[in-house]
Amino acid sequence: MARNGVGRTAIVRRPDPPDVYEYDIERYLNVRSAFGASFRADGTLSFRTNTTGTPQVWTVPEAGAWPTQRTFYDERVTFASPSPERAETVFGMDEGGDERGSLFRLDDDGRITELTQPDAKHRWGGWSHDGDRIAFASNRRDESVFDVYVRPRDGTDGDARRLLEGDGWLSVAGWSPDDSRLLVHEARSNVDTDVYVLDVESGALAALTGEGAPGDGNTGNEAVRYKSLSWGPDGEYVYCCSDRDGDTLSLVRLDADDGGLETVVDGGTWNVDGVAIDDGTGRIAYSRNVDGYTELTVGDLDGERIDPRPDPELPAGLAGGVAFDDGADRFAVTVTTDTHNANVYVVDVETGAAERWTQAPTAGIPESTFVESDPVRYGTFDGREIPGYLSVPETVPEGGAPTIVDVHGGPESQRRPSFSALKQYFLAHGYAVFEPNVRGSTGYGREYAALDDVEKRMDAVADVGAAAAWLAARPEVDARGRRRPPDREGRLLRRVRDARGAHRISRRVGRGGRHRRHREFRHLPREHRLLAAGTPGGRVRLPRGRSGAPRVNLADQLDGPDRGAAFRPPRRERPPGSGRRGQAGRRGRRGCRRPRRDAGLRGRGPRHLEAREPNRGLRRDRRVPR
């Protein structure tokens, strides 16, 4: 499975061009989205949309009204948070996607004030309830760590007060109901986090989880997630999603004094992956990831219980970003499905009725032409069932449709039934699309997410091969193909040709560009290396020599009569002494020549190069053809 944030795409047999192309790729890539909604103090809705090309801040007073654009930048606006008391909004923006986001205040008359310095990262932490102060985390003191700051809304950057000097990746999750404390979240990795409470006046920090927690917080070495933090209505408890006591995420509450944990809603088979609470009324909304689809539950907190309200009448797909209005009588939420681009809906809490407030354009393409996917499962080499989504074009030719196997990137991720303009383009032009969530994907529990760790990485590749074999048996799929050598830019899924059933895959296409080599990883900013490497100071530690863990041969990971040498690609033998002049004696541990940096591209005959992924511990030989 792709692990450095870029997915891989495998095409099963190229189709004959259809007779008519109604819409070209440019039209599909101009389908827009609306998202990130919040209610302003006057009841109007603030949201972001990329209608102009990059996400900007817009407002709309009611459903069906004409929206008003509020920011006009070429750069993307990364978030927008309206003041709870005034007609002003704090938003974030970086430059050229460098992630060094600054904070700005947008007044109702259109004036914009820069609140922070532009040469550091700033993570938004929220408004105080009186709207007089803001909190944020920043790495302005040391680029490898984040500190916590509080400043007045109308002051200067010099008025920002550093409450906490961090030694890791800190973020602020919100103010307590009385504005005396801040929730602080620390991430050591995306599966290992902790929660703290910070006193605003004294700067005293109290741990609710992990080492230093006074109660029964987890103090072992096992990684635990705490995400989607929210204060309870009285400030006595902190509500969040955690997998401390189970394989999946549950809705839990932590005692704000001693960190004692109580389960409110058990995760069971599916993750409870998000929670939003109005701390003035105790109204709560939480989401559950059920086989990729969002199930949203709304209710009122009553101690450890939740008194349910009617279920929101939303389209089946993904829903998130819940924001209550003043009084929590309604809330805004972003919804997207296979056949609907992302838009903002407003839900009435009493009735569950939902109304769409934004109209992000579809570039003139009728929504009726979009195709919905079907959730499916298929068997793999060890008997496990692998989940995925299969989308088939409306018209399937005799013999089946050529099929694209689209594997998501990572580090850990999950393919879910949300709108994809690129997928809809392929479906409209006669391709079927299969999106497997191979082992290592999130959304199916901690155990499933760990099934491709370190020496098990090739098991995820075998899942892709099993997907190709499963597709070949389906009547709506034309899986005839021919085996082709991998392209030079391929990474882990280049090995898919060696997996059982993967000989049916005839092309491998990368959407994200060339593999980032280990040397490129070393030149990343220090704060990036810190999180990616997961080691103190951001140092890259590769045990057992350069390549980390022992090399894993895919053939040894497969069961059955076909395992072994039959799965290995053929080797081309060279007589001794036949190497190029100047290469004699340049041999690696396994007897392979190690050419100069560019020798493999210019030399004659096969060359074996090492392609490494940072801190993954898997060595792979790359074969460059003549």
pLDDT in tens, 38-47: 999 999 999 9
The predicted structure's pLDDT at residue 550? 38
Residue 529: per-residue pLDDT? 47
Q: Which helix H or strand E contains 38, and what residues bound it? A: strand 34-39
Establish how many alpha carbons lie within 13 A of residue 499's alpha carbon, considering only the half-sphere containing its beta carbon.
24
For residues 348 and 330, the answer to whether their CB atoms sit within 8 Å is yes
Do 377 and 385 meet the contact criterion of CB atoms below 8 Å apart?
Answer: yes
Shortest CA distance to 558 belongs to which of 567, 545, 546, 571?
Answer: 567
Encoded amino acid at 310, one letter: P
Q: What is the rounded distance in angstroms from the CA atom of residue 203 to the CA atom of residue 209?
A: 18
What are the E-state strand segments in 291-402?
A: 293-302, 305-308, 318-324, 330-337, 340-348, 354-356, 374-379, 385-391
Q: What is the DSSP letter of 587?
A: B
**What was the pLDDT predicted at 190?**
87
User: Considering only CA atoms, which of 463, 466, 472, 461 is closest in space to residue 432?
Assistant: 472
Q: Report the amino acid identity of residue 178.
A: D
Chain-centroid distance, C-alpha 589: 38
Show the tokens assigned to 469: 């074999």
How far apart, in whole angstroms, are the C-alpha atoms of residue 438 and residue 403?
17
Sign of CA dihedral 598, 601, 603, 608: positive
Report how far Cα 523 is from the mean position of its chain's Cα atoms: 23
Rounded to 5°, the CA angle 124-37-89 comes to 50
CATH for 1-30+362-515 (3.40.50.1820, 3.90.76.10, 3.40.190.10, 3.30.40.10): 3.40.50.1820
Q: What is the DSSP letter of 115?
A: -
What one-letter code names the amino acid at 47?
F
The pLDDT score that the predictor gives to residue 601 is 34
CB 66 within 8 A of CB 357: no
pLDDT computed for residue 454 by the predictor: 83
Distance spanning both ends of the chain, measured CA to CA = 28
Strand partners, 610: 621
Question: Quick one: pLDDT at residue 218?
Answer: 58
3-state secondary structure of 496: helix
Q: Are strands 192-199 and 56-60 parallel, antiparallel or unpaired?
A: unpaired
Show me where the domains of the chain are located. 1-30+362-515, 32-92+322-360
Other C-beta atoms closer than 10 Å to the C-beta of 131 total: 15
CB-based contact 423:499 (threshold 8 Å): no
The total of other beta-carbon atoms located within 10 Å of residue 192's CB is 16
pTM of the predicted structure, to 2 decimals? 0.79
Task: Pick out the chain residues at pLDDT < 70.
Answer: 1-21, 215-221, 411, 479-626
- Token representation of residue 547: 């390549």
Element (H, E) at 621: strand 621-624
Residue 622's pLDDT is 35
**How many other C-beta atoms can be found within 10 angstroms of the C-beta atom of residue 447?**
10
Q: Which of 358, 370, 365 is nearest to 51 (CA)?
A: 358
DSSP 603: S
If DSSP codes are grouped into helix, strand and coil, which group holds residue 393? Answer: coil
600-611: buried (b, 16+ CB within 10 Å) or exposed (e) per residue? beebeebbbbeb
